[in-house]
A and B are shown apart, each in its own frame.
Chain A
Amino acid sequence: MLTGSKTTFKVRQMLPDIKERMLSQTGVNARSRDLFGLRCLPGECVLQRAVMVRKKLTAREGRGWLSGTLFCTHFRVAFVPQDSPKPDDNADPVLLGDHDVALASIEKVVVVGPNRTKLVTPNSSLKFTPEELVLYCRDMRVVCFLFDRLTPESQVQEMTYSIAKTYQPPKPGSVLSFQNAALGSVEMKQFLSNRRRDAHMNWFESASDWEQELERCGATSWRVSSVNDRFEMSTSLPRFIVVPQKVLDTELKKSFAHFNEGRIPRWCWRHPRGSDLLRMASFQNNIYHEKDDIRNLEMILFGCQSSLCVVVELGEELPSPADIQLAHSRLRALCLGDISTSMSVPDDKWLSTLESTHWLDYTRSCLRKASEVACLLRGGHLTVALQEVEDRDMSCVVSSLVQVMCDPHCRTMYGFQGLVQKEWVMGAHRFYSRINYHRDNDKEEAPVFLLFLDCVWQLWSQYPSRFQLTEDFLLALHDSVHLPLFSTFLSNCQRERCKRSQNLGQCYTPVNGWRDVLHPDSSTDPSDPPLPPVWDWSLQYSKPRQSRFTQPVPPTPPLQPLLNGNLNTNPDKHRLTDAVPGSVFLLSRGTFSCPTNLLPWRNSSSSSSGVYKKSHRRALSSENVPGLERLLKAWALVEFPQALTSTSGPQGPLDPYEPLLPLLMGPCMGLWRECYLRGALHAQAFSHPLSANHLHPVERLAQEVQQLKDKLEQVSTSTDPTPPAVTAEPRRADTNLNQNTNNGTFLFPASRPQSAGALRAAPLPTSANQHTSRGAPAASAPQSRPAHKDTGGSSKHTFLFGHSSVIDAHPDQRYYSASSNAKLPKSNGPSLAS
């Protein structure tokens, strides 16, 4: 960050050096990708290699050590465990293995010597041989490698130097060079260009995507407008925006000038009880409001509700980006300790220091605001418009939180991805500036998106079974933010993204929206690799890990794919029916008011305009305030328990659209330990590498079934479809149980790796060896996933019979037979034999 020119110089100097030291450069040829056991990306260079290294496993990975070989390439620090099976040559490239760290996500490198600890910088020289190498990552992981005495000393030193010299982004352009390192090769570009977009989620890029969402929500009186198709109305708004049916594009065009950055009120979501959620920037006051404009403005603002609009001002009660940045940096410092001195906050000051970061306060205020909005929407038949000065930070947080709370679809993985696309990517959250990949814009840096993820985690931890996505998914998303590789995060708005991808030959057809077209020469263009979206999880995570992103058994209330917009059997006694058209209220600090200058045009035109008489309006508003306040109170103490029993009881069907209102008291706001404390070494000071010699009974059960299956196959030569189906099922249940451990359910904070520990001795078919136990569900999960949208019965059906193929069963067989002979409980033997 501060190093500036000096480092730049260093690195430039170093470049030829790299070439000299490069152990090898992989060719274009796929077969030569495998180097010393490391599966390189096309074009990836291995700079250094150290053998006999042990990696410290975190609690989540099962604790203890894993020995193998450490590599430093010009893209990542890779660790290949011993005995890890040979990767399949034809498999798609995975950017990062399970044990790898991308150079760009490394924040600091520390080495531990016999009796000293040293922070390694690009130009520091080591006067001792490190015993331990600790990588502190931006995503708050701490990865620790231990060098054996058998590791050649030169390798240790060289490895440290290589990492120290390559990890730091020394100049703004380095992000680009990092991308090129990972994605720049011809082969990789070709591979990326041929990637197909995931059709399960809504990308919100084309008009039809938005129409699909309108249909899903049953928002019939809204339409998709392409008035901003060439970003002429607003540079930061997406090409397509949703506006009321009755407003014509020509009328619409006049309203842009009245809002900051032209961000007019736009539709985000419709509550099944008929309320609409809108977002807008603040009003431009220094503009003359013509009568015609006013009519249009009000029509846009009131949307399809004739009666009532509540403007929720997001500035005051929510943290500013600067607040968030400060809180997050304090939280980092607290959770990781002072990296250079290895000092950490003493235990007895932990709680108060955590409090003084204000991070939990900020998550609470976001959740509180979202709960308020959710309660308003539940009341039905009103418009809630979120207003923020720029409409690009907290309104993203609040609008998406509201939808996570209210819409079960947004609690599925694909639904959530669509939500992020809609509210953050298309809503033009300034990812690029806020994440500050280049370290050149410290003023703008603020992890607003990470705050949002924390809020979602809080919701998840209070209602784990109402989410189809899991903590693992949130963690994966959290970590991906720190990798400057994804188009999702590398631009500030759709316009920038389009500009970028146009170079790559995206083209637009009016019917299908954007479509990637491979230019004949794009693959040879060395400068700009195509950037994948973050949602292309296969680039980062192996199948077994991806299978942990979702609960294998969907939450009990069946997810209805379509809200028809009129879940209108609303018994709500608070419904505001008698409101007269034109009432606007401001919600601020939990109370409603009707300040005269709320809508600037009304203020200026109140005398002239006959439509909205001031006195008339005021009388109305005072009548409606109590009703609105009752809505808000719905989540306060008095009526809360009823809401709870209705959601929690096993009796009766529960209303899936009843918002998940979080508890916000001090003791209820938890620290996301799995994320912030996962790398903290002190957390394991007393923990002991537990002898992970027992399989979880469920996994044992799976093994037993596998054995039975093997026996069956021995007995009968005919292909019997049933046994494979049966074996698939138990393992599904096993993931299922483990998924619930998100809450920390098992004996060990991480139960999955525990089984892995036991299996480690056995030769394993996949490289992801601590997740091998998941291998089987991984194979089945993606195929069964689309079925989640259907009702439970049919999904089971597809599952059972979709996977009885012998091909599926074969890898499992290898895996299970290898370990089961040795490990099956003896008690089982007789019953099998008899």
Chain B
Amino acid sequence: MEKSGSVDSLGSKRSSSRQPSVDSLSSTSTSRSDRSAQAKPPSAMSSDSVSTSAEFSPELRVKPKISAKQAIRDSDKEELQLLPNETVQDMAQDVTYFCPFTGALRGTVTVTNYRLFFKSMDRDSTFMLDLPLGVVSRVERIGNASSRDVSYGLVCKDVRNLRFAHKQMEDTLRKSIFEVLMKFAFPVSNGLQIFAFEYGQVFPENGWKVYDALSEYKRQGIPNESWRITKVNDHYELCDTYPSTLAVPVNIPDEELKRVAAFRAKGRIPVLSWIHPESQATVTRCSQPMVGVNGKRSKEDEKYLQAIMDANAQSHKLFIFDARPSVNAAANKMKGGGYESEDAYQNAELVFLDIHNIHVMRESLRKLKEVVYPNIEDSHWLSNLESTHWLEHIKLILAGALRIADKVESGKTSVVVHCSDGWDRTAQLTSLSMLMLDGYYRTIRGFEVLLEKEWLSFGHRFQLRIGHGDKNHTDADRSPVFIQFIDCVWQLTRQFPAAFEFNDYFLVTILDHLYSCLFGTFLCNSEQQRLKEEIPKRTVSLWSYINSQLEDFTNPLYVNYSNHVLFPAVSLRHLELWVGYYIRWNPRMRPQEPIHQRYKELLAKRAELQKRVDELQREVANRSASSASERPGSPTRSITPVQTFV
């Protein structure tokens, strides 16, 4: 079929990726082999829990000086290293930490405006716990006032619970350290500033420059003859949860957009997310139409969807994917919402994807937490896991994204994706299908762009869903929508291990800093709010940190298959629980073998071979230049690399 031409395209056509694949591969591999020569110990920790916290709590990796990383690494495990503008708020001796795996430990607790730091010298080895306060979802005092010990439970957003206890304060005026902690764990509720605004670290890279809407549209070839960039939302007047830059069909004037906005929930009109470079089939996203009980119609909306369909000459059909179960979609009619009727929208086919709402997902993750933390019941592990339905939800999301990708790629049909408001399930579906369709998003920078675009600029409500610095832990708006998305991405990386430039650690880091409040990236609910709060000016972007030490996040076996479409197997038989994230606190779960180490060795070997190919190439050049006359000289030269190898 396309067999012959495509290899050429790998070598020459470089529309989306940064470098030709062979070059990029070899360059990364050489650099990696150098690094592995430095003998970086994966985890030579003194105690089990220390290593887990050191390995996975990324704040330890945020070093004042990135260049001196190796030197610092050993020392920062021993002592608390304060970040710029991090200040110690309180310290307490003789606090007991009830580790669910190793038992009670006595030690010192330090609370800063960013973290809780516990250190114990109880055993022959030191034990440390380093917890960014942003992770804390709830602090509760356990036990009655009369007893001599006061006990506090910290419920964390990252699937763990911690329990501490200390002696009753003799000085009743003095606050317990955990009261202090509560103040700094919930700065928003206490009229304080989130630490991200104080964190003054300067990184060589500026992550706020990673995403520029116009250049991303330009990368996709927008504007073109059917799609234009509109500035109608420049001041967020059309829709306050949308970005200022939108791509819409060429033949719909701005005036009409406003009328379409009136018919779509929260004014979130259908806009372009992604366009297929060849077939021009598009992925567009929006919110539900305001159909209501009476089945209201909007001429402008119908015309608009027709325009989206017409923009793709390949197909005379349009698929509307409603992420919700059909029952929920119908129930939304009572609240004025609903779904497109196929009568009103000619040539459109409506498909429900049966993905449940944020409340179901929250409950599912809660159950999952019960099953995995702290202890796992081995004999009923699988049925317990099944009863959380977590993997089932993951499957439905992946299956939905797969259907979208399939329609666009194989059917060459444009699709419209929406749920109710178009900022939760819609973001999951569009970004996952874009990840399957476009290899650019599978690079580190491309993935950052994808998050900035589909999640941040299109108004996934991070503040509400995560509840940064907010003590109201029962808030019904909280939901692990974004975690689910990252889980789905992880599932994809499992099935296509060489298709992604980033590794597991990259995904875990994103999730850790989703809560940590160290970076400004995931603060606020929309682009408008972020602009108002001057987030890019006042905080550091997570991408600044990540892009400054890319090698930590790079998948050694990444192969640039940029024009491949990934169609994962979404059956539950092929999904797995992401143990590296959900069960990472359990010291027994650590990966047994640093397989990446071996990959790096192999890549080093490969780099060596590449070098020899280069040498040979040079030799061929020499030979063809000097033709047959200088033949006696060359064999000796060609033997040399072999000898060095042996």
Contacts and interface: CB of A to CB of B under 8 A. Distances in A.
Q: Are A and B physically bound partners?
A: yes
Interface of A: 59, 347-352, 354-356, 360-361, 364, 462-466, 553, 556, 637-638, 640-641, 644-645, 648-651, 662-668, 673, 677, 680, 682-688, 690-698, 700-701, 704-705, 708, 711-712, 715-716, 718, 720-723, 725-726, 729-730, 733, 736-737, 740-741, 743-749, 751, 757-758, 761, 793, 796-797, 800, 822-828, 831-834
B495 to A, nearest CB: 7
Given A649-B41, A665-B589, 16 more contacts: A351-B386, A352-B383, A354-B382, A465-B598, A664-B378, A690-B564, A694-B7, A715-B628, A737-B606, A751-B498, A758-B3, A793-B646, A796-B645, A823-B7, A826-B11, A832-B620
Interface stretch (B196-204, B446-454, B510-518, B610-618): B610-618
B639 interface: yes
Contacts of A701: 22, 606, 609-610, 613
Nearest to B582: A667
B620 A715 contact: yes
7 contacts: A640-B588, A649-B44, A667-B583, A686-B568, A692-B3, A696-B559, A737-B557
Contact of B378 (A665, A691, A730, A822): A665
Given A347-B573, A686-B402, A637 B588 contact: yes
Contacts, number: 292
Contacts of A824: 7
6 closest cross-chain pairs (CB), A and B: A666-B381, A825-B11, A355-B382, A693-B6, A352-B383, A351-B386
A347 B620 CA distance: 57
A823 B583 CA distance: 45
A733 B4 contact: no
Given A665-B589, A677-B573, A705-B616, A715 B623 contact: yes
B45 to A, nearest CB: 7
Interface stretch (B104-112, B166-174, B300-308, B391-399): B391-399
Contacts of A463: 592-593
A337 to B, nearest CB: 11
Interface in B67-123: 101-102
B561 interface: yes
A570 to B, nearest CB: 21
Interface stretch (B182-190, B358-366, B630-638): B630-638
**What's the dominant secondary structure at chain A's contact region?**
helix
Interface residues of B, number: 106
B594 interface: yes
Interface in B350-377: 372, 376-377
Contact of A648 (B559, B593, B610, B634): B593
B561 A716 contact: no
B624 interface: yes
A684 B21 CA distance: 29
B623 A796 contact: no
A711 B569 contact: no
B499 interface: yes
A649 B22 contact: no
Nearest to A354: B382
A465 B573 contact: no
Nearest to B13: A826
A36 to B, nearest CB: 28
B559 A730 contact: no
Contacts of A360: 382
B592 A663 contact: yes
Contacts of A351: 382-383, 385-386, 391, 572
Contacts of A825: 7-8, 10-12, 22
A466 B595 CA distance: 10
**What's the dominant secondary structure at chain B's contact region?**
helix
Nearest to A739: B602
B379 interface: yes
A673 B574 contact: yes
B255 interface: no
Nearest to A831: B617
A721 B639 CA distance: 8
B631 A640 contact: no
Contacts of B191: none
Contacts of B36: 650
A726 B612 contact: yes
A793 B499 CA distance: 34
A726 B642 contact: yes
B7 A695 contact: yes
A685 B42 contact: no
Contacts of B641: 726
Given A696-B559, A701-B613, A666 B48 contact: no
A332 to B, nearest CB: 14
Contact of A831 (B561, B610, B621): B621
A694 B605 contact: no
B44 A645 contact: yes
A691 B588 contact: no
Contact of B498 (A668, A712, A729, A747): A747
B590 interface: yes
Contact of A686 (B5, B6, B557, B570): B570
Interface in B1-43: 1-8, 10-12, 20-22, 25, 36, 39, 41-43
B592 A644 contact: yes
Contact of A834 (B395, B569, B621): B621
Given A355-B381, A641-B47, A796-B645, A697 B494 contact: no
B571 interface: yes
B3 A761 contact: yes
A746 B557 contact: yes
A720 B638 contact: yes
A822 B406 CA distance: 30
B410 interface: yes
Contacts of A708: 613, 616-617, 620
B597 interface: yes
A693 B44 CA distance: 43
B208 interface: no
A686 B612 contact: no
B2 A693 contact: yes
Given A364-B378, A691-B2, A682 B573 contact: yes
B334 interface: no
A827 B567 contact: no
A226 B51 CA distance: 54
B142 interface: no
B42 A648 contact: yes
Most buried by A among B22, B494, B579: B22
B382 A683 contact: no
B622 to A, nearest CB: 10
B620 A666 contact: no
Contacts of B498: 745-747, 751
A641 B587 contact: yes
A698 B26 CA distance: 10
Given A680-B573, A700-B7, A720 B635 contact: yes
Contacts of A822: 4
Contact of B392 (A59, A348, A553, A743): A348
Given A649-B44, A716-B631, A733 B588 contact: no
B497 A736 contact: no
B559 A464 contact: no
Given A825-B11, A825-B22, A800 B44 contact: no
A683 B573 contact: yes
A51 to B, nearest CB: 23
A168 to B, nearest CB: 29
B565 interface: yes
A667 B329 CA distance: 36
A365 B568 CA distance: 33
Contact of A667 (B44, B579, B621, B623): B579
B376 A666 contact: yes
Contacts of A698: 606
A677 B571 CA distance: 12
Given A704-B613, A825-B7, A828-B11, A697 B573 contact: no
A827 to B, nearest CB: 4
